[in-house]
Amino acid sequence: MLSLWGKMNNASAEIKKLIDYLDSLREGDRAVDLLVAYGEGAIPYLRKYLMEGNPGHIYQPRQRAVNALARLGAKEVLIEYLCVPKEIPDPVFRFGEEAVENTAARALAKWQTDDVFAVLLQIAYTRTLPGVIEALASFRRQEPIPLFIAALVDDVSRPAAENALTALGVMAKPALIDTVCAPNPSEEDDNPSIRLCRRSIMRILADLPVTVEEWPGLVELLDDNDPEIAILAARIAMKMAHHEDMAVRTMIEKFPLLTGTFR
């Protein structure tokens, strides 16, 4: 019969072997299942692999390590990983590591706790990672709304930010209206990112109920320089009593100007 020490050594050797299999295209996913079966004993080895391993353009093995840690309940390791500053000059390697970070952030969303929310919010102030946005949105809290709106200017983060704001719905509406009704940049100072941000906001608002009290802040957008903004404002007007004629006139005027305005 093996001694306890011998059994521990055997387990350690097996876990190390499975860690190596995370890099395997064929056996990587099975290795995750087997590592999880070892329980908490696998956590130190997975942490070492994640924290000390080198980022690369093949990032799926590191995502597997994150998934295994999440299934093992290693919340603190995932937080530690996300909070460690990473200087990765190679853009391809940086893209790969951000994919791993996104996976870790999404995994953390299963812990709907104040400490996880605080960590994700802190990260979002410096990096608008889609996974962080998605995880924050799952908490359905107001604090990240300005960060979601700010993320609309970023091409990578915009889809996640749009989904987050859409999911928050009425909760996000006051901030959306305030942002889109702020003074429009002059034509020479405007830029595509700002235009896309404002269009995203209007698409979200067009699918939300707008009250009579909120409409006066939006009515001026019927004359917006961006024809898509104006038409989306007209869509909102169509749902408002006694504003149908105004909406139709705007659509007739602005539709011919839409050519070339879409992404």
**Cβ-contact 176, 149 below 8 angstroms:** yes
Tokens of 194: 């700002």
Q: Using the 8-state DSSP alphabet, how is residue 197 labeled?
A: H
**3-state SS class at 44:** helix
pLDDT of residue 262: 46
User: What is the rounded distance in angstroms from the CA atom of residue 130 to the CA atom of residue 135?
Assistant: 9
DSSP letters spanning 174-189? HHHHHHHTSPPPPTTT
- Write out the two tokens for 18: 């499975």
Q: What is the pLDDT of residue 188?
A: 43
Predicted confidence (pLDDT) per residue in 20-45, tens digit:
999 988 898 999 999 999 999 999 99
Q: Which residue type does 171 have? A: M
What 3-state class would DSSP assign to 59? coil
Percent of the residues in the chain that have a pLDDT greater than 70, as a whole number: 87
More confident residue, 185 or 182: 182
C-alpha separations of 237 from 176, 185, 215, 233, 256 in Å: 17, 23, 8, 6, 19
Q: Which two tokens stand for residue 220?
A: 């001026």
List, for residues 49-90, the tens digit of each pLDDT value: 999 988 888 999 999 999 999 999 999 999 999 999 888 888
Token representation of residue 203: 């698409």
